[in-house]
Each structure stands twice: as structure tokens, then as C-alpha cells.
Structure 1
Amino acid sequence: MKLIITSILSLTIGFSCLAQNKNNKTTNALKNETATTIQSGYDEYKKIALSIWDYAELGYKEDRSSTLLQTTLKDNGFTVEAGVAGIPTAFVATYGSGLPVIGILAEYDALPGLSQDNSPIKTANANTTSGHACGHHLFGTGSVAAGIAIKKLLESGKLKGTIKVFGCPAEEGGSGKVYMVREGLFNNVDVVLHWHPSDDNLVSNSSSLANISAKFRFYGIASHAAGSPEKGRSALDAVEAMDHMVNMMREHVPQETRIHYVITNGGKAPNVVPEFAEVYYYVRHPEKTVVVSTFDRIKKAAEGAALGTETKMDYEIIGGAHDLLINKTLAANMQINLEKVGGVKYTDDEIIFAQKIQSTFTDKYDPINSVAIVKPLSIAKTLGSTDVGDVSYAIPTVGLRAATWVAGTSAHSWQAVASGGTEIGIKGMMVASKTLAFTAIDLFTNPELIIKAKEEFIQTKGDYKYKALLGDRKPALNYRD
């Protein structure tokens, strides 16, 4: 009897292994097909990405960029709902029906004051004062390319389910995704995928900083600064008093806290006591509760500054983002796919370009190693913030970074703008697009992966009840004005 049972078990395991091997061969074939599909669109996607790079539109002003991506998706059979969540440049593009529902995030906003052409020398772009110093022109285009590749597999019947591409404006301080989460646009999605330009290739396996941003506005009394200064009450004095108090407060906050600000309006002429002044603040910390409590203290500094200068103060919360929930189940899967895709190779001319860019850095870097390899899955300290964090509190989420910039390049720099406007940026974008598509294929073909990801999501989130850190305000569509 024991021999018979052992034989049955052996046969069962054998059939299971055969089925698994067959499934792996099918999945690999789909991935190879998809890699070819995405690569065949290289010239088209390059044109789209560089068009958006040239537009360099700021948050909530990305009219041409959003329209171009929407048109591309429509031309490829997607149904597009535009102007979602009360944001004219936000959209959701959908193809397919039924489960699973896989979402891919796309961004496309630029940064102010970072105009740069695509040369390795600091040279402003004559057509714009803004620049894609965070590579969102690549982010948006690469995500759309992945979505279209999956759509083709759904259309041919090789996959079953639904693919959604979420057009997400104003990641840079505008918290566009927060409004989309708040609107419930991700409620029926099983897993969300995303990526971000970088100077290396790795799967995101560490959290981000939660943040709140706000503009503090002070109202005083104008007067002649020399003839009747006693009649004036300076709004600029109030801003400076607030800034001084907040800067002293830095000694008395948790060490991981980040507070930064710019004076966006300090008056118009030195001989006029400013009747209006404005300062724009960010506060960040790994824990959202600390962000809230620190922001409350900053508000008190603003109130004290107004009291001490006999001015009036109000403030407007501009943005707020949660920290990023990591899903190890999804990260491990995406790591396998990123390693399958691999890094990028530079031509001799691109190596020369990279070396020229690197000559502007204070540190020394190898121009090719970090972009050619895929880093192992590990937990690294992250000091940035992203509104993807709010998505990760709504649905299991995973992302990667792909080398679209020369090694050593920091985001929000002219060097990032320059690299992103060349083949270096496009090559990295294709790595990301293929990795997103490969991961999506695994999710469509392996229901168990989604189940495990959701179980981990529920456990990690715990009993926390999501609430947007920016409150119930409407989208700050003019926050860049």
C-alpha cells in the first residue's frame, strides 16, 4: 500500500511540474513577444517622449503632454476617460474586460526653472524656462508603451483581463494621484505598477517620505519705507520672522524630518513696505503622523509671526502624500523581470557624452557600470516623496527605477534634463517599459501572485484608515502660479 501511495504522489508531483514547466514556457514566450513588440516601437516612443520633453509643461498645465499620450492610447484601441478627479489633464485609459485588472501609472509634468537643452554643457533651452529634470516625459511614455504591449496580448486572446493606464499629472508638488485615490479610481484595480527614471536599475524596495506642502500668505499695510515707515506693517517681516522660528525649530524635531521653503513673493520694491508676502513650505518624514504634528508646529510659527508683526495670515495646503507601502511579494517578482530585461549599453559617443556630464560632478563615477547592471533587491534609504504613496495605501503597488540618466546624476538637475533628451534616456525608458510589461504578464497568468500580494498588502496596512493628508480641498490647479 505504501508503495502505491508513494507512486501516486510521485505521479501527482510529476504532472504538477510538467504543468508548471508548460506555463513557464508559455509565459516566457509571451515576454519575448512583448519585448519585440515594445522594441519595434522604439522610434515612435522616442518621438513621443522627446515631444513631451520639449513641451516641458508644469503640473496641472500638461495640456499637450496629456493629450499626446491620450491620443496614442486611443489610436491603439483604448477607451479614454479624460478630466478625471476634477483635473483637466488626468485620465484613465482602459482596454479589456473582467479580472484581473492591472493598472500602470504614467506621469508627465516638468519642473520650473530647469531649462536645459540636450547637450552635456549647461545651456538653457531657448523654447522654455522649465525642464524634465525628473524624467517624467520618459515615465509617461514608457508606461503607455507597456500598456499598449499588454493590450495587444489581450486583443489576441493570449491574456484575459483588463489593463488600465492612469494619466497622473502634477507629481511634483501637486499630489495629483492623491485626488485620484480620493475619487476611488483605483478601487477596482488588483495591482498597480509604476517606475521612475534614475541613474541605475533597481526595484523599489524601500519606502518614501510622507509630506505636506503649503503656502503661507501674510497681509500687512503698505507705506513709504523712508517717508512714513511707522505707518506700515511689513508682510515680508512676517515671512522672515516665521522662517527664523521654523529654522530654530529644526533643532527640536526628529532627525529624519526635512523642512524646506522658498519665498515666492517678498514685495515689489525696497522703498515700499510690502503689504503682501508669501512663503511656500514642505515638511517631510518617514512617518505620516510626524509630518502632521510638525506641520501643526509650523502653523503656530506662522501665527506667532503674524501676531508679532501685526499682520494677518492665512495658509493653503497645496499637497500631501503618504509614505510608500512596500509589497515584497511583488518586488521579488519584478526583480526577476528586471534582471531578465537587463541594463543598457552605451555607444562610444554616449560614453563621451556621459564623461562630459560627469566632469561637472564633484564626485567621480564610472560612466557605464551602474547603467549596465541590475542592482540586487535590497532595502535602501529613500529621502524623496511621491504621491504613489497614496496609491500604495489603496492597492498593492510595486515599482522600479531605470537608468535613464548618466551615472551620478541627481534628479532635479540640469544634467538629468540633458540626459533625458538623448538616446541615453530613451534606452533606459525601454528597460522600464519591458519590465512593467513582463510583470503585468506574470500577474495576468498567475492568480496566486495577486492573492499573495493582496494578503501582504492587508497585513502591512493593518487597521490604518486612509485619509488624504491634504484634506478635502479641490485639486490645486494653479499651485505653480
Structure 2
Amino acid sequence: MNRHLRGAAGLLIATLAASPAVAAPLAKAESAQITGDIDRLSPALSALATDIWNYAEVGFHEQKSAARLQKELKQAGFQVETGVDGMPTAFIASAGKGGPVIALLAEYDALPGLAQAADADRHPIEGQRAGHACGHNLLGSASVGAAIALKKWLERTGTPGTVRLYGTPAEEGGFAKVFLVRDGYFKDVDVTLAWHPGDRNSASQSQMLSVISGKFLFEGLPSHAAAAPERGRSALDGVEIMNVAVNYLREHVPQETRIHYTITNGGDQPNIVPASAESFYYVRHYDPEVVKDIWGRVTKAAEGAALATGTKVSVRLIGGTYSTLPNYTLGRIADRHLRDLGGFTYSPEEQAYAARLKANLPPGGRAGGGPDSVEPFVEGRKGPASTDVGDVSWATPTLQISTATWVEGTSPHSWQAVSASGTSIGNKGLVLAAKTLALTGAELFRSPDEIAAARAEFEAGRGKDFHYTALIGDQPPALDYTDHK
């Protein structure tokens, strides 16, 4: 068993063996002040989320979105460092002094090909490339709200501590957090708090999939496809034969593996033998060592396709993230606050919208969920997606919760998620997330024993022999990864 699997298997041992955290619950008056601060901020946070939803900027091109988030933080008195780690749209905002350092994560990139109006029926926005199909307009805005509320609480109570918000672009493929972890930007963080939009309220902590992604560029020889086909070597043939080889590979990989691809360049027109063609691949599994092994086999398939077609192939690594390392100590604290807050209800107009949207959902969605309840807290859960929060979770004890920003049964990366992320339903979930994160952060600032317990679980989960090495090696961020040829 490799070190990462040993670490994951050690989580249960860590949970059982760690000394119980000595809670320092917030007084009701303190909690009410924090939630009241966020309620007063909610119109500004909703406006912030709506602006970013309208900008709909893809990874590493989120100039307007990043600037808008920074503006809110600067107005609240945060010190903001921009262009962090060679990424123009990455930033770090800090407030407070001394004490524990508690980080919050903000994302704000949209997904290409998913522009959609905030309507319950399919209405693409003409001329717009992208849409917030993962709700990152809400994600970044709620984290900003929680950070501002924590700053106010630190000042009001005189509690020593530093709240730091990381503006992390390009979660959808560019994986900015990986570079920030690799380059030491989280080395002094005691705890990291994160959240993600969803169709239910939950503080259960999940192990997400590790992933490696990259582009395979085939280069051949152009020629007239009818008059002189024998003089050409089709780069597109290379791409297609690679895809066939990888599809046969799927039978011979571990059960939990996911491999998916798209052709980002297939040539220009049929009467020209394509001189250049490109595919973009993701390989996922819970164990990063398995991902690395399968990625090597996918690369061999590309090399074989190039040999078979008389073309050349080059591989450009785009990203790579670890699976998430759950921290149940933090999860239980957040779960308590989420349950105290409860869910929220829809207005009559929101109920009508939700009913129409549900009628447009494809079959197969998860049962249950919804805005007015909190899911049971479950340990040992595995998630079917990937996130660059994974690398953060191997660098600091990390929490990630979810709130019901979408209509029950909605999946991420769908037009229905884009729609709900631009509505009052999304904004209500934003406020609930901001309150939960702020209350959790304030309790942790107040209770060194809880931070110590989260750290003990974290260290046991990683294992004593763990040494972090980024899956993307020493390469710089792929700032142009969304700029398909």
C-alpha cells in the first residue's frame, strides 16, 4: 500500500485515537453578532455574486471577477496582494495580527460552453462563451463574506488571530491552489475553511479523486486530401487512433478510474490533411500513484498512435491534484453550526422556478437534499469529482462544506446549475455558507484545543513518512489552457 493509501486508511485510526477536542462554543450573543454581520452584508454579497455570474470569465482570465472580489475586501480593510505566484488573477487578502492563521478559499472561474440565462428553461446567452456551472460566483462571494465577518469579530472581541483569504483562479482545470501549495503559500496556515455550491446542505467530509490532465499535440504533414492524400500525414488520425487505444485501455484499469477527453483541435477543413490536431485528457482515481501509472499508459497510447500514423506527438502537462484528505474534527464543528443555523425556505416565486427547473432535469439525480434540511454527518464518504482543494488538504487541516445553492437533483457542470447560480436561490445558499464558515472560524480562533485536535488527525492521516510532491512537478501554471487552437 502506497503512502497516500496508508494516510487515507489512517483517518479512522486518527479519529478514534485523537484526544477529544475541548470545545469553546461561542456565546449566543457572539453567534448572533456574526450572523447579523453577514445578514447586513448579504445585499452586497448577492450583488457581488451576480456581477461575477455576469462576467462568466474562464480560468486564468478572471480579471473582472478577481478585481471585484478584491474591491470588497479592500473596502473592508484587508491588505491585498495581487498577481500572486505568477498568476495575474490570483491574490491573497489578510487581516488581523498574530494568533492562529485561518485561511478561506475563493474561486471565481466559469466553465466554457455553458452560457445560460437565469431561467428555468434552456436559454443560452447569445455571444457569451461561458457560464457558472459550478457556482464559483457564489463560492468566492460567500468566502469573502465569511472573511469580512471574521475580521469584524476579531476586532470586536480583541482575539488574536489572522484571517487570510486566498483568491484562487482556474479551479476548473488550471489548478491554481496546487502552485500555491507547492510554492509555500500555505506553510504558516493552521486551518483552511472551504465550501462548494450543491443541491443540499452538508458538512460531511469526502475523499475526492486525484487527477492528472494534459494535452496531446499531434503534428503531421498537410496535403490536398483528394489530389495528393499519399503525401500527407494526418495529425487527426493520430488523435483518433490514440482515443481508440485509450478506450481499449479502460478495460484494464482499477474499478474507480475515470478517463475522459475532448478533441480541442481537429483540423481546419476536410479537403486539407490536418497538419495539427490536439486532444485534452483527464485521468482520475482516488490514489495519485494509480493516476500517475495510468497517465503513463495513456502517454504510451499516444506514442503508439504517432508511430502508426507517421506523425509526431508532444505532451503538455496541464494540471494534477491530490485526492482530498478529509478532516472529521473540523467537519463535526461545522456540522454543529450548520445544524444550529438550519436550512432555508423558498419564496413562492422560487418554488415556481424550482418546479419548472426540476421538470428540465435529466433522469438519474440523487434523491433527497433540498434547502430546508441538513444531511446527516457521515464519515468515510467518497466523492466522484476532483478539486485542487485536495493539495491544500495535504498541506493544512482542511474543511469543505456544501450548501443548497441549486435546485434538488441538479448536477454540477450543467446549464441548470448555471441558472440557479444566478438566482436568489443561489444567494440564499451563499449566505448560509458564509455564516457556517464564519461561525466555525470564530470557534477555532477561540479554541486552540480544537485546532490541535484537527492537526493531530491531519498528521495521522498523512502518515509519518508523507512528503508532499506536486503532481505537476516544477512547471509554471498553464495560463493559456482554455485558449484552444
- TM-score bucket (shorter structure): over 0.9
- What is the distance in 1 between the residues matched to 2:76 and 2:462? 36
1:118-133 to structure 2, matched below 5 A, reads 118-126=118-126, 128-133=128-133
1:334 aligns with 2:314: no
1:161-310 to structure 2, matched below 5 A, reads 161-310=161-310
1:466 to 440, 443, 468: 468
Residues 384-408 of structure 1 deviation map (CA, whole Å, 9 limit, x = unaligned): 0000000001010011011000000
1:412 maps to which residue? 413
- What is the distance in 1 between the residues matched to 2:366 and 2:299? 45
SS of alignment partner, residue 206 of structure 2:
coil
* 1:346/1:368 contact within 8 Å kept: no
1:450 maps to which residue? 451
SS of alignment partner, residue 174 of structure 1:
coil
1:441 maps to which residue? 442
* Closer/same/farther in 2, CA of residues 265 and 207 from structure 1, 3 Å limit: same
1:476 aligns with 2:453: no
* Closer/same/farther in 2, CA of residues 206 and 365 from structure 1, 3 Å limit: closer
Residues 27-48 of structure 1 deviation map (CA, whole Å, 9 limit, x = unaligned): 3322111001101111111111
SS of alignment partner, residue 36 of structure 1:
helix
- Give the residue type in structure 1 aligned to 2:119: S
2:77 maps to which residue? 77
* 1:177/1:387 contact within 8 Å kept: yes
Deviation for aligned residue 1:157: 3.4
- What is the distance in 2 between the residues matched to 1:450 and 1:121? 46
Query: How many pairs are equivalent?
Result: 460
Residues 40-95 of structure 1 deviation map (CA, whole Å, 9 limit, x = unaligned): 11111111100000000000000000001111101110000111111010011000
2:432 maps to which residue? 431
* 2:104/2:165 contact within 8 Å kept: yes
* 2:85/2:180 contact within 8 Å kept: yes
* 2:201/2:369 contact within 8 Å kept: no
- What is the distance in 1 between the residues matched to 2:252 and 2:412? 29
* Closer/same/farther in 2, CA of residues 368 and 347 from structure 1, 3 Å limit: farther
- Give the residue type in structure 1 aligned to 2:253: V
- What is the distance in 2 between the residues matched to 1:46 and 1:157? 27
- What is the distance in 2 between the residues matched to 1:107 and 1:231? 49
1:18-97 to structure 2, matched below 5 A, reads 24=25, 26-97=26-97
1:116 maps to which residue? 116
Larger Rg: 1
- Give the residue type in structure 2 aligned to 1:271: N
- What is the distance in 2 between the residues matched to 1:216 and 1:366? 35
Deviation for aligned residue 1:341: 1.5
- Cα RMSD of the aligned pairs, angstroms, is 1.6
The alignment-based identity, stated in percent, is: 48
- What is the distance in 1 between the residues matched to 2:343 and 2:367? 13
- What is the distance in 2 between the residues matched to 1:29 and 1:301? 62
Deviation for aligned residue 1:381: 3.1
TM-score where L is the length of structure 1: 0.93
For structure 2, the residue ranges without an aligned partner over 5 or more in a row are 1-21
- Give the residue type in structure 1 aligned to 2:467: K
Deviation for aligned residue 1:361: 2.0
- Give the residue type in structure 2 aligned to 1:391: V
- Give the residue type in structure 1 aligned to 2:86: G
1:395 maps to which residue? 396
- Give the residue type in structure 2 aligned to 1:240: E
For structure 1, the residue ranges without an aligned partner over 5 or more in a row are 1-19
Deviation for aligned residue 1:126: 3.3
1:5 maps to which residue? none
1:156 maps to which residue? 156
* Closer/same/farther in 2, CA of residues 301 and 364 from structure 1, 3 Å limit: closer
Residues 141-180 of structure 1 deviation map (CA, whole Å, 9 limit, x = unaligned): 0000000001111222343211001101000011110011
- Give the residue type in structure 2 aligned to 1:416: A
Comparing 202-211 with 151-160, greater Cα deviation is found at: 151-160
* 2:365/2:409 contact within 8 Å kept: yes
1:100 maps to which residue? 100
Residues 118-158 of structure 1 deviation map (CA, whole Å, 9 limit, x = unaligned): 01010012352210000000000000000000111122234
- What is the distance in 1 between the residues matched to 2:252 and 2:368? 43
Deviation for aligned residue 1:365: 8.2
* 1:211/1:284 contact within 8 Å kept: yes
Deviation for aligned residue 1:305: 0.6
Deviation for aligned residue 1:302: 0.5
Greater RCO between the two (CA within 8 Å, min separation 6)?
A: 2
- What is the distance in 1 between the residues matched to 2:293 and 2:385? 19
* Closer/same/farther in 2, CA of residues 212 and 415 from structure 1, 3 Å limit: same
* 1:62/1:109 contact within 8 Å kept: yes
Deviation for aligned residue 1:204: 3.7
TM-score where L is the length of structure 2: 0.93
